[in-house]
Amino acid sequence: MSDPQPMLSLRDFSVSFDTARGPLYAVRNVDIDVADGESLGIVGESGSGKTVLSRGAMGLLPKRAAHRSGTVIYDDHDLSEAPRKELREYWGTGMAMIFQDPMTALNPVRKIGSQLTEGLRIRLQMSKHDAKARGLELLHRVRIPDPDAVMEKYPFQLSGGMRQRVMIAIALACKPRLLFADEPTTALDVTVQAQVMQLLSELRHEMGMSMVIVTHDLGVVAGHTDRIAVMYAGEVVEIAPTKRLFANMQMPYTEALMKSIPRLDTPSGQRLPVISGRLPDPTQPETGCSFASRCPYVTDKCRAEAPPLVEVSPGHSYRCWFPIGGSR
Ligand SMILES: Nc1ncnc2c1ncn2[C@@H]1O[C@H](COP(=O)(O)OP(=O)(O)OP(=O)(O)O)[C@@H](O)[C@H]1O
Ligand SMILES: [Mg+2]
């Protein structure tokens, strides 16, 4: 039996920006599928291209400066060349996004109620009365206590965790089939982070949605995803089912990310190993492996030649000449 058609399929997907220093290659030749009902994590450090990839898939990039190439197929529709007017039909009801910074994504001078009901009134043409009722139901669904009072509040009157729940309610308002959650918990403290991740997982199951969780923290997605794609310098450098990635990672970059996850037994105050060095300059593509300048296992071959993506087992691929699981 062949695999069912994925909900979202990106092929050879790239995004570059025009900058004063020439083209900046933010996302490079990415192939990713998201299956119906699946939860996919996209993990990588700041600047690796996670937000540009997600926004690019949805068609939410600045029109003039951004160049997309490759294909984007959503639910059998080829959106690669679709004009914004057509993409708009899929926003909210097909694909929705929880944006990275809830303080800027929410309008500070409008009450929560009006921001929450706006999409329902415009996209679903609901009456004011029905939109309010649905808005209250949504706040209830994201476990916000006293929804009536929250509808009348402004964003600054809510805690970070409550604001993030409001963002989730807004994204879910039109019952999307695929939700992108871009760093949904970064601004929150650890306990609230765990609650918000738990909530997202529950909502995904309840609503039968697919979800893409974008984060720099491998620990955040460990228990909440079916598969994880690790991004580095705009490329997917390793992708695998979550359990398999943790048990059998191949890329030295994935290993470095893993070492930077705080553990319960890490004494408080102890600094975690951070990956030394910086991402390569995205306006100057490397000739060899993009991780070569920071990799503890680097060889001359790595600096000279970019490794291709190879599959070690079904659904597990990586880009490395000298994988951790192989012989060194
Ligand atoms: N509008 C833009 N114009 C020019 N360059 C951009 C633009 N948006 C993003 N970039 C660049 O694209 C690259 C990828 O950025 P992106 O925001 O996707 O990273 P990220 O992985 O989401 O990082 P973070 O974890 O900090 O959110 C970076 O080099 C960034 O500076
Ligand atoms: Mg980002």
Which tens digit of pLDDT belongs to each residue from 17-67? 999 999 999 999 999 999 999 999 999 999 999 999 999 999 999 888 899
- Angle between helical axes of 112-123 and 128-141 (0-180°, round to 10): 120
Query: Mean pLDDT score of the chain, rounded to an integer?
Result: 90
CA 111 to chain centre: 27
Mutation to probe ligand 1, out of 13, 24, 217, 253 (largest number of atoms < 8 A from CB) = 24
Confidence of residue 3 (pLDDT cuts 50, 70, 90): low
**pLDDT digits over 281-321, tens only?**
999 988 999 999 999 999 999 999 999 999 999 999 999 99
**pLDDT digits over 120-155, tens only?**
898 889 999 999 999 999 999 999 999 999 999 999
SS3 state of residue 247: helix
Dig out the tokens for 143 from the structure: 């476990």
Q: Which segments of the chain does DSSP mark as H helices, in order?
A: 50-58, 84-88, 102-105, 112-123, 128-141, 147-151, 160-172, 190-207, 218-221, 242-248, 252-259, 300-304
Of 268 and 133, the structure prediction assigns the larger pLDDT to: 133
Contact 52, 27 (CB under 8 A): yes
Question: Measuring from atom 31 of ligand 1, which residue has the nearest CA?
Answer: 47
* Helices and strands (H, E) in the chain, number of each type: 12, 12
Cβ of 251 below 6 Å from ligand 1: no
CATH architecture of the domain formed by 8-94+174-318: 3-Layer(aba) Sandwich (3.40)
Dig out the tokens for 178 from the structure: 């695929």
Q: How far is the CA of 137 from the centre of ligand 1 (A)?
A: 35
Confidence of residue 191 (pLDDT cuts 50, 70, 90): confident
- Local structure of residue 260 (DSSP, 8 states): T
Residue count (the chain): 328
SS3 state of residue 326: coil
Contact 139, 151 (CB under 8 A): yes
- Closest atom of ligand 1 to 24 CA is 5
Cβ of 44 below 6 Å from ligand 1: yes
Q: How far is the CA of 326 from the centre of ligand 2 (A)?
A: 32
